């Protein structure tokens, strides 16, 4: 993971389509959202412990819980919602979106272990198989 991607995750930024096209990898996946939440939670906990001990604020421990919600959990949830919207759009617009081998949680082709994009299909359509419907 490069430094710019770490900053994107920490600052709640999503990658642009140009970045996805250049690297052939999605910038935001379920794993990166979880990683961002864990990283921000750890930083908030460490800062809270330091501040509570430094200024003897033990009776205000609940502010730490609020800071974790406001600084880590809620932004992570919103980022995950945006990722789900992006994946729904990806599934509608691309051939890979209707293939049974697409893992939507990581935007990954299970056969080729590569990330499809709008302009790049790993198998070039040769191994495409339709998704199974629920009533079949």
pLDDT band with cut points at 50, 70 and 90 for residue 36: confident
Contact 33, 79 (CB under 8 A): yes
DSSP assignment, residue 71? I
Sign of CA dihedral 73, 77, 79, 80: positive
Instruction: Look at 133 and 56; give whichever has higher pLDDT.
Output: 56
DSSP-based helix, strand, coil % in the chain, nearest 5 = 60, 5, 35
Share of the chain above pLDDT 90, in %: 45
* pLDDT (tens digit per residue) in 54-90: 999 889 889 999 999 999 999 999 989 988 998 999 9
With a cut of 70, say whether residue 11 has pLDDT above it. no
Residue 76 near residue 37, CB atoms below 8 Å: yes
| pTM, full prediction | 0.77
pLDDT for the residue numbered 59: 92
What confidence tier does 112 reach under pLDDT thresholds 50, 70, 90?
very high
What gap in Å lies between CA 126 and CA 73, rounded to an integer? 41
Worst-scoring range by mean pLDDT, 45-49, 67-71, 85-89, 131-135?
A: 131-135
Ranges 27-31, 48-52, 104-108: which has the least confidence: 27-31
């Amino acid at each position: 993971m490069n430094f710019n991607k770490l900053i994107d995750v920490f600052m709640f930024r999503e990658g642009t389509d140009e970045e996805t096209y250049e690297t052939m990898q999605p910038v935001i996946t379920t794993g990166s959202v979880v990683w961002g939440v864990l990283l921000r939670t750890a930083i908030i906990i460490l800062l809270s412990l330091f501040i509570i001990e430094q200024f003897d604020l033990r009776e205000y421990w609940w502010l730490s819980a609020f800071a974790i919600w406001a600084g880590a959990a809620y932004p992570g949830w919103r980022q995950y919602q945006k990722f789900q919207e992006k994946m729904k759009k990806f599934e509608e617009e691309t051939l890979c979106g209707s293939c049974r081998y697409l893992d939507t949680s990581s935007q990954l082709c299970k056969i080729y272990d590569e990330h499809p994009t709008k302009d790049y299909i790993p198998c070039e359509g040769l191994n495409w198989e339709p998704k199974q419907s629920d009533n079949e």
